[in-house]
Every structure is written in structure tokens, then in C-alpha cells.
């Protein structure tokens, strides 16, 4: 099998070959069809991220995370081989699957309850602590993490479901009870999505499919070009945060796009010091701010407003196994439009990571395997 591995920060990924692994007992081996290239892969390659409080997180300081690492947590492919002890999983050779990437250790009390986000070894997931999809074969130690992909979902869309898909699905279902309560009591609700990039557009489509139809969905971005795509895809209104506007004007303009002074729920896919501080001021009483974007510094909030209006602020990090199962069912029946794709071969991944770093990647980077 061929794979591309991070051996040292910023060094070109090492392309090497090794034997196709045996499927372990209880697990399967997948022949990769497509594998997404994500910003998290870039962070690993750089081996450090700013936590926003002055501290820096280094992957290689985690005890069980060691270079070389085969990145890639957005994996779609077919079942190549099946290990023993797989009774009840119903996998067949050749089945189309996507991998639930956030499996963590798989056997602690948290993992057993589908709460792997809390696993003490939660970096033990595909493309981080265990080998991922920058390879034409991937071992899935627990067969339940290889979820069947219906024929109606192309592989290219399928491989996005375990990362951008699951994250936005988790965000929308996190705000959903708040939105439903406002619709129940007031007959309507307003939701703001911050960022009209890949995550924002996924979020828009999922929100339209999952939230009550009385919900007004608005997207904010710096770029009116990106917002034009959001309008084409059915958002009810958009707000351009134009350069040169004062912060007060931006906040007033944004609030005016909501209802009665703002938004009942906000999903911030950018989540920097600027956007987070800004949109907190656009929340209506009893509203919820879901923070999704990573590594954006730290925000400033009025603590009395938070208390007096019983607002909720919550973080949303990827999602659980059941989220991915539900999302696959949803995508199979809805016509979701994926973001534009930018195809690479395995030996071009270092170039792809450089494009992500420079911000020159147009659309979503994806490795196509033969």
C-alpha cells in the first residue's frame, strides 16, 4: 500500500510503501477511494496551534501521538477485507463506507457510551493517533466505525460527512431545541450562520432540512461573492461585514437582519476574537451561541448580559457516532450540494497543505485514489 506521512514539522510528507495490513479481529480494512485534506492536517504538519490564552498546543507532546503520522480523517472507500469476530456487522467485501473518525480509544467508559469526545485518549483517532486516509488502505479496528454509504451519496460527498458534515450537523442539532422553543412560543425564530465558506454552506443546507420552517436563516461574511452562493442555496438573508464599517454599525446592521433585535441562535464557524465578541452582542434574550471555528484567539463578553438574559454559549467539536449515522440518512434523502472540490493525487499532498497554509486552496482539497 502507498501512504504519505508526516515525519517532521514542515518537512515534505514522506511517500512510502508498506504491506497491506490484515484486518484485525472485530475490524475491517478499507480500500480508500477519496480522502479529504483538512486544516487539522495542516495543524498537525505544523505541530503547534495557539490556544488563544497565550499557550501553545503541540501534538507531539501528547504521549501516544508520535511522528510518523499518516493524516486523513475524511475517509471514504470500500470494504477490502473483514477480520474475524465481525458477526452482526453485516459488512460485505466491496461495501461502500465512510469512516467515523473520532473513535478515540474505543473501550473506556466514555467511548462505550458514544461520548468519545471525553475519552482521555481522544487524539487516538484516524489521521491523528492512528493511521488515516492519506493511504490507499486504512485499518478500521472496530467495524462499527465503518458506516455504510448509500448509493445515492457519491464518495466525494461521503468523505466530507465525518468532518465538515458531522460538525455542522452537531451544531444545528445543538441549537435546534432553542429554535424550536422560540417557534413554539413566538411562532418564529432567527438563526445567524457566521462564515459562508464550506462549513457555513453545509450548515445552511442542514439547517434548512432540520430546523422548523418558521426559522429565518441569515449568513454573515466579509465577502459578498461568497454570500451570493449562500443566497443561491436558499438562505433567507445575508449580511456583508464590509471593511471600513465601525463595529457599532456592523452590530446594528447584523441585528436588524434578525428579528426583534437579533438572533435566537448563532453558529459561529469563524469564531475569532472579532466575530465571537461581535455576535454575542447580536443574541436575543435566552439565545444560544454555538462556537465552532477553531484557534481564533479569545472573545470578550458582557458577563451581566449573559446572566440577566440567561444566554447560553457552547462549544461544538465534531460529533458522535450517532450524529454521523443520522447525517448519512439525511444526506441520502436530501439533495445537498457539496462545496467545489479540488482534486489531488497522493504524491501532491505536500503542495495541497502548502495551498491551505497560504490560503490559495479554492474549494475543498481531496485526494483521489486509483
In sequence order, the β-bridge partners of residue 238 are 219
| Nearest approach, Cβ of residue 209 and Zn ion (Å) | 21
Coil, strand or helix at 304: helix
20 CA to centre of own chain: 29
Contact 178, 254 (CB under 8 A): no
Q: Which is nearer to Zn ion, 9 or 108 (CB)?
A: 108
Helices 166-186 and 321-333, packing angle to 10 deg: 80
Q: How far apart are CA 125 and CA 103, in angstroms?
A: 5
Q: Which is nearer to Zn ion, 288 or 318 (CB)?
A: 318
Q: Which residues bind Zn ion (CB under 5 A)?
A: 38, 104-105, 108, 111, 119, 163
| Nearest approach, Cβ of residue 169 and Zn ion (Å) | 14
Cell 476574537 -> residue: 273
80: its cell numbers? 477490502
Q: Which is nearer to Zn ion, 163 or 199 (CB)?
A: 163
| Nearest approach, Cβ of residue 288 and Zn ion (Å) | 24
| Nearest approach, Cβ of residue 159 and Zn ion (Å) | 10
Coil, strand or helix at 75: strand
Coil, strand or helix at 229: helix
Q: What beta strand segments (E) does 136-262 contain?
A: 137-140, 146-148, 189-194, 215-221, 237-240
In sequence order, the β-bridge partners of residue 217 are 191
Q: Which is nearer to Zn ion, 108 or 313 (CB)?
A: 108
| Nearest approach, Cβ of residue 184 and Zn ion (Å) | 35
In sequence order, the β-bridge partners of residue 188 are none
Q: How far apart are the first and last CA of the chain?
A: 12
Q: How far apart are CA 258 and CA 265, in angstroms?
A: 10
| Nearest approach, Cβ of residue 52 and Zn ion (Å) | 20
Q: Which is nearer to Zn ion, 103 or 146 (CB)?
A: 103
CB atoms within 10 A of CB 345: 12
Torsion of CA 230, 235, 237, 243, to 10 degrees: -30
Helix (H) or strand (E) holding 254: helix 247-257
Q: Which is nearer to Zn ion, 105 or 354 (CB)?
A: 105
Helices 198-210 and 224-232, packing angle to 10 deg: 30
Q: Which is nearer to Zn ion, 212 or 296 (CB)?
A: 296
| Nearest approach, Cβ of residue 281 and Zn ion (Å) | 30
Q: Which is nearer to Zn ion, 108 or 354 (CB)?
A: 108
| Nearest approach, Cβ of residue 90 and Zn ion (Å) | 25
Amino acid at each position: 500500500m502507498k501512504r504519505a506521512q508526516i515525519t517532521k514539522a514542515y518537512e515534505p510528507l514522506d511517500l512510502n510503501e508498506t504491506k497491506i495490513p490484515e484486518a484485525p479481529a472485530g475490524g475491517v480494512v478499507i480500500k480508500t477511494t477519496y480522502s479529504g485534506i483538512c486544516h487539522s492536517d495542516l495543524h498537525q504538519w505544523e505541530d503547534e496551534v495557539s490556544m488563544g490564552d497565550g499557550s501553545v498546543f503541540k501534538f507531539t507532546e501528547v504521549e501516544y501521538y508520535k511522528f510518523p503520522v499518516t493524516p486523513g480523517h475524511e475517509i471514504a472507500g470500500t470494504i477490502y477485507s473483514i477480520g474475524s469476530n465481525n458477526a452482526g456487522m453485516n459488512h460485505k467485501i466491496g461495501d461502500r463506507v465512510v469512516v467515523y473518525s473520532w473513535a478515540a480509544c474505543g473501550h473506556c467508559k466514555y467511548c462505550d457510551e458514544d461520548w468519545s469526545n471525553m475519552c482521555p485518549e481522544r487524539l487516538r483517532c484516524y489521521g491523528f493517533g492512528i493511521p488515516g486516509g492519506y493511504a490507499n488502505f486504512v485499518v478500521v479496528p472496530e467495524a462499527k466505525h465503518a458506516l455504510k454509504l448509500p448509493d445515492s451519496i457519491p464518495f466525494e460527498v461521503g468523505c466530507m460527512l465525518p468532518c465538515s458534515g458531522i460538525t455542522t450537523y452537531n451544531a444545528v442539532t445543538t441549537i435546534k431545541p432553542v429554535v424550536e422553543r422560540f417557534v413554539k412560543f413566538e411562532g418564529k425564530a432567527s438563526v445567524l450562520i457566521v462564515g459562508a465558506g464550506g462549513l457555513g454552506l453545509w450548515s445552511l443546507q442542514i439547517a434548512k432540512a432540520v430546523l422548523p420552517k418558521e426559522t429565518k436563516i441569515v449568513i454573515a461574511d466579509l465577502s459578498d461573492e461568497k454570500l451570493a452562493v449562500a443566497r443561491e442555496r436558499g438562505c433567507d438573508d445575508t449580511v456583508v461585514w464590509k471593511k471600513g464599517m465601525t463595529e457599532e454599525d456592523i452590530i446594528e446592521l447584523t441585528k436588524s437582519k434578525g428579528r426583534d433585535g437579533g438572533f435566537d441562535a448563532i453558529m459561529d464557524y469563524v469564531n475569532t476574537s472579532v466575530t465571537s465578541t461581535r455576535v454575542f452582542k447580536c443574541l436575543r434574550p435566552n439565545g444560544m451561541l454555538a462556537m465552532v471555528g477553531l484557534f481564533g484567539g479569545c472573545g470578550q463578553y458582557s458577563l451581566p448580559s449573559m446572566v440577566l438574559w440567561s444566554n447560553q454559549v457552547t462549544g461544538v467539536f465534531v460529533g458522535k457516532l450517532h450524529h454521523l449515522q443520522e447525517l448519512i440518512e439525511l444526506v441520502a434523502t436530501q439533495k445537498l450540494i457539496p462545496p467545489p472540490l479540488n482534486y489531488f493525487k497522493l504524491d501532491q499532498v505536500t503542495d495541497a497543505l502548502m495551498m491551505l497554509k497560504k490560503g490559495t486552496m479554492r474549494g475543498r482539497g481531496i485526494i483521489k485514489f486509483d
